Amino acid sequence: MKSPAKFFMALIATIFAFSVSAANVEVFEFKSKTDDVYELSNGAVFKTTGVGYPGYISYHQQVIFVGHKVCLKGGMYDYELREEGRSPHYSISTYSGAEADAKYQELCGGI
């Protein structure tokens, strides 16, 4: 049996998975990390806050921002944006429809 927190996160993921099929999902490339501060290839800088640690992140790892969460390596983390990046940028990929659903599941974790 799932804990209430896991059930709630699965419910949110399900709702978002159904909504992304009608929208585009922008995927960003990771560049570097110092402690809990991450830099993306387009120049954006954010800091993870709250609970959770994604562990080692390789160069060019993909990242999605979903509301007040950032998805990477199959997990969702709270974040604080420190610096906005350049857009459009060669490192940003846009997915829609079934591709957006698949990319969300890959980066944010399965249900």
User: 58 lies in a domain?
Assistant: yes
Tell me: the pLDDT tens digits for 47-89?
Answer: 988 777 777 777 788 999 988 899 988 889 999 999 999 988 9
Residue 59 lies in a domain: yes
Q: Name every residue whose Cβ is closer than 8 Å to that of residue 105 and which is 6 or more positions away in sequence.
A: 17, 111
**Inside any domain, residue 103:** yes
Cis peptide before 4 (omega within 30 of 0): no
Find the DSSP H helices in 3-80.
4-20
Residue 57's pLDDT is 78
pTM: 0.70
Structure tokens at 109: 């974790």
- Is residue 6 domain-resident? no
Tens of pLDDT, residues 4-46? 555 444 544 444 444 444 478 999 999 998 888 999 999 999 9
Residue 67 lies in a domain: yes
Is 20 a member of any domain?
no
* Helix pair 97-108, 4-20: axis angle to 10 deg: 160
- pLDDT at position 3, please? 55
pLDDT of residue 15: 46
The more confidently predicted of residues 23 and 110 is 23
On the question of pLDDT at 91 being above 90, the answer is: yes
Number of structural domains in the chain:
1
- 94, pLDDT greater than 90: yes
What does the alpha-carbon distance between residue 8 and residue 2 come to, in Å, rounded to a whole number? 10
Residue 22: predicted pLDDT: 44
